[in-house]
């Protein structure tokens, strides 16, 4: 349901189902009522026809002719039945169509009134019956009560209702499909500007476009304009940072070059080489840290995929020289082909801080493990980086505090207490987090999660 088109289609579908369903119910009810009224009118006409054909015989009793004008009264299985009862509910006459059937016409109504009834034959066939009680005036002027009854099978009527209902469902389903298809086609056109703005934002991220175009509908014009203002302001701010910090970096080159020159005047020894290594490392760190605020590219908002195996090898070699007196055994367990989607400096800052802390506190063994965050998916950029050591470990109560800037467990050890805070900030900027646990090596295990590039 993340798609706006899908949400609109589902909403429209639910509305169509509701309104079409209500319309079908109303039309079906109206057709049924009209059909029942027509059936009642037909029965009323048949009843009047029976009354018109009734004649008194010489004995002063009513009787019906053998052949009636309505032929269905004389045909077996026609579904139309008639009967004439006297005041004792004894049948005086029954139609030939009801031969062999016990048609339940129901109780007789009051004299001078008629009554419609819904009945069923013994085999379950539904009937609609009409009864009329009359006081018949005989030739001698006397009155005798009779009840005229007609009944008609509703099988044909129910079949018509079922056919009409099926046609309703068929036609409304066809109309719904046509409407949904038309709405879907219209929505594709209406949502085209949204797809265009999404595509152009992707092009800006990939560096293939500088700004968003201005040919959007009125509702999206302000969105595109504000997005262009944001992109422009970010690029201008990045450029200002770049110029200012490049100046600062240039100013720092001279002191570092002077230190290197002083060392070159002295006789080369192991200490000099180690200091040279640290000066070079300082140069790298200064270049990275001073350029870090300007890492938002001026030409693109996207990130590149950095192969990390080579960078880790260089990092381990440098740390081995720094801690040559301890000679830590650093084990690398990195999934083949895994890449970091971001700045190389960010990755080296994370891995370098964690490995430096591990080498500082370990007894001998350090292990770095990197696995894709999504199993089997090394292309997404998501990863889980864990650095373990066999040192004294980190108390659980102090784990959260260590992630705060300036917090240190041992004030006598060298450092400023910002390494883990920097790691946490970089992980957060990539949609991840930092956790501190105990390692099976005996010391601490610090895990950094980096979210896939799309999620970050």
- Residue 58 belongs to domain with CATH number: 3.30.450
Q: How far apart are CA 454 and CA 295, in angstroms?
A: 19
Angle between helices 344-361 and 309-322 (to 10 degrees): 40
Domain assignment present for 67: yes
Domain that holds residue 72: 4-160
Residue 405 domain-assigned (yes or no): yes
How many Å is the Cα radius of gyration of the chain?
Answer: 48
CATH of the domain at 314: 3.30.565.10
What pLDDT, on a 0 to 100 scale, did the predictor assign at position 220?
81
Q: Is residue 280 part of a domain?
A: no
Q: For residue 106, count CB atoms less than 10 angstroms from its CB and return exposed for 0-12, middle for 13-18, buried for 19 or more.
A: middle
Of 110, 142, 160, the position where a domain reaches its end is: 160
In a domain, 379, yes or no: yes
At residue 416, the pLDDT reads 47
pLDDT score recorded for residue 456: 45
Residue 200 inside a domain? The answer is: no
Work out the angle at residue 22's Cα, subtended by the Cα atoms of residues 16 and 27, and round it to the nearest 5 degrees: 120
Domain assignment of residue 14, yes or no = yes
Give the model's pLDDT for residue 27: 93
Q: Quick one: angle between helices 155-190 and 4-53, nearest 10?
A: 160
pLDDT (0 to 100) of residue 419: 75
In this structure, the number of other CB atoms found within 10 A of the CB of residue 305 comes to 14
pLDDT along the chain (456 residues), means of 10: 78 90 92 91 91 82 84 88 85 87 84 87 89 83 86 90 92 91 86 84 79 82 84 78 67 68 66 67 63 48 69 87 86 86 83 90 91 75 89 83 68 59 85 89 90 62
Vertex 71, ends 67 and 74: CA angle to 5°? 65
* Domains of the chain: total: 2
| Residue whose C-alpha is closest to residue 342's, from 299, 385, 380, 386 | 380
Domain membership of residue 112 (yes or no) is yes
Which residue, of 115, 133, 160, is where some domain finishes?
A: 160
* Domain end position, chosen among 160, 183, 206: 160
Give the DSSP letter of residue 47: H
Dihedral sign (CA 355, 358, 364, 368):
negative
User: Which SS3 state, helix, strand or coil, does residue 324 take?
Assistant: coil
Q: Which residues contact 413 (CB under 8 A, 6 or more apart)?
A: 360
| Position 425 in a domain | yes
Task: Provide the pLDDT for residue 247.
Answer: 66
Q: What pLDDT does 408 receive?
A: 61
* Both tokens assigned to 374: 């999504």
pLDDT of residue 380: 67
Query: DSSP state, 163?
Result: H
pTM: 0.48
| Torsion 207-210-215-216 (CA) sign | positive
Closest by alpha carbon to 8, among 193, 188, 219?
188
* pLDDT for the residue numbered 123: 86
Which residue(s) pair with 131 in the sheet?
Answer: 115, 149
Taking alpha carbons only, the member of 163, 119, 128, 134 closest to residue 51 is 134
Q: Which residues contact 309 (CB under 8 A, 6 or more apart)?
A: 334
């Amino acid at each position: 349901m993340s798609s706006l088109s899908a949400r609109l289609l589902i909403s429209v579908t639910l509305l169509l189902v509701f309104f079409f369903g209500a319309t079908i119910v109303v039309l079906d009810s109206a057709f049924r009522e009209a059909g029942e009224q027509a059936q009642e009118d037909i029965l009323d006409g048949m009843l009047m026809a029976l009354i018109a054909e009734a004649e008194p015989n010489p004995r002063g009793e009513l009787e019906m002719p053998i052949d009636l004008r309505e032929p269905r009264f004389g045909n077996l299985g026609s579904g139309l039945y008639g009967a004439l009862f006297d005041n004792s509910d004894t049948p005086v006459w029954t139609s030939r169509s009801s031969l062999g059937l016990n048609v339940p016409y129901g109780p007789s109504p009051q004299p001078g009134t008629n009554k419609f009834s819904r009945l069923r034959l013994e085999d379950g066939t539904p009937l609609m019956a009409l009864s009329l009680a009359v006081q018949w005036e005989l030739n001698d002027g006397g009155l005798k009560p009779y009840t005229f009854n007609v009944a008609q099978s509703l099988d044909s009527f129910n079949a018509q209702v079922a056919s009409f209902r099926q046609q309703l469902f068929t036609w409304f389903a066809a109309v719904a499909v046509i409407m949904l298809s038309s709405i879907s086609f219209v929505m594709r056109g209406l949502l085209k500007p949204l797809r265009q703005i999404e595509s152009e934002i992707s092009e800006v991220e990939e560096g293939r476009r500088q700004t968003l175009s201005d040919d959007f509908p009125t509702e999206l014009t302000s969105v595109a304009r504000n997005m262009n203002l944001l992109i422009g302001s970010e690029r201008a701010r990045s450029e200002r940072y770049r110029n200012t910090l490049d100046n600062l970096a240039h100013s720092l080159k001279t002191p570092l070059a002077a230190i290197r020159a002083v060392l070159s005047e002295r006789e080369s020894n192991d200490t000099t080489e180690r200091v040279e290594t640290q000066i070079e490392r300082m140069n790298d760190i200064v270049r990275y840290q001073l350029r870090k605020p300007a890492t938002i590219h001026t030409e693109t908002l996207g990130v590149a995929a950095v192969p990390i195996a080579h960078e880790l090898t260089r990092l381990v070699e440098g740390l081995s020289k720094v801690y040559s007196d301890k000679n830590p055994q650093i084990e690398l367990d990195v999934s083949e082909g895994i890449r970091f989607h971001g700045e190389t400096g960010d990755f080296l800052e994370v891995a370098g801080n964690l490995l430096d802390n591990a080498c500082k506190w370990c007894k001998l063994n350090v292990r770095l493990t990197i696995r894709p965050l999504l199993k089997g998916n090394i292309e997404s950029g998501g990863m889980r980086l864990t650095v373990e050591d066999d040192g004294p470990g980190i108390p659980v109560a102090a784990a959260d505090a260590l992630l705060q800037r300036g917090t240190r467990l041992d004030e006598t050890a060298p450092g400023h207490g910002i390494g883990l805070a920097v790691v946490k900030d970089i992980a957060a900027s990539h949609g991840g987090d930092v956790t501190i646990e105990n390692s099976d090596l005996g010391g601490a295990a610090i895990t950094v999660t980096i979210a896939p590039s799309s999620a970050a």
